[in-house]
Amino acid sequence: MFLYGKNSVLERVKNNPKSIKRIIVQDNFDDSRITEAIKLSKLPFERVAENKLLRIKRADRLQGIIAEVDEFKYVDFNDLLSEAKENNKTLILLDSLNDPHNLGTIIRTLACFGDFAVVIPKHESCEINETVLHVASGAENFIPVSIVTNLSTSLIAAKKEGFWAVGAVVDGGSDINNTELTFPLCLVLGSEGKGIRPGLEKQLELKVKIPMAGASLSFNVAMACSIFAYEINRQKKR
């Protein structure tokens, strides 16, 4: 598995160097922040010509650096649940999210806000791949991600541990600005096309929406997640 781009590689070097097998940079790469961090970490490091770098990993915006790393390690859901309950982290359950760019953006956004974790299903959903990691720009080092067989079963397990189950909807929900949230919290976000699946929707205790006074469109899931995450953190800190 390859990380590419300056931020992705630098954050991994700083936060999880043991997961890195080797780092390859273009022969004219000259970002001193990164080269110094690599030297301090004593990781395997080599310079190569641009055409060789592109043969190793072909992608847009390599920024002259790639790192070969271990496969992404998901967190066991039961461990995630225990840690989230102990530290009042909010669980974001992503139902049928298939766009790796949206998943990467969500992980990056949640890392910026802090105190979140992500749960994704094994089937009919995007997993953590190289594109997700590139878009996340190192945020995977700060946001634990669990992959589960059945989101409904996982949500039920969370509710038994005292988590409140809330789902984000476009129509019919309560205005998030006028809704007092209860913690610990699970927020379910559905796919942009189909929303939250019926089996998962049955487990919700509350539906919330983002009020929109403008055009009758909708936010994409990553934008919506940012708005909900802001409000969740605002209420949690009151």
pLDDT, tens only, 109-133: 999 999 999 999 999 899 999 999 9
Contacts of 82 (CB under 8 A, 6+ apart): none
Angle in degrees, 0-180, between the axes of helices 100-113 and 221-236, rounded to the nearest 10: 20
Tokens at 132, concatenated? 């997700």
Domain with CATH 3.40.1280.10 in the chain: 77-236
How much is the pLDDT for 217? 64
Among residues 216, 198, 94, 195, which one has the least CA distance to residue 154?
94
- Secondary-structure class of domain 2-69 per CATH: alpha beta
How much is the pLDDT for 238? 82
DSSP string, 111-169: HHH-SEEEEEESSSS----HHHHHHHTTGGGTS-EEEES-HHHHHHHHHHTT-EEEEE-
The reported pTM is: 0.94
How much is the pLDDT for 212? 82
Half-sphere exposure of 26 (CA within 13 A, CB side): 17
- Which of 15-19, 171-175, 226-230 has the lowest average pLDDT? 171-175
Q: Could you tell me how many residues make up the chain?
A: 238
Tokens at 202, concatenated? 């049955």
Domain with CATH 3.30.1330.30 in the chain: 2-69
Residue 59 phi, psi dihedral angles, 5° rounding? -160, 160
**Percentage of residues in the chain having pLDDT higher than 90:** 89
With 0-12 / 13-18 / 19 or more C-beta atoms within 10 angstroms meaning exposed / middle / buried, residue 178 is exposed
Annotation: CATH topology of 77-236: Alpha/beta knot (3.40.1280)
Q: Angle at Cα 71 formed by Cα 103 and Cα 55, nearest 5°?
A: 90
How much is the pLDDT for 174? 94
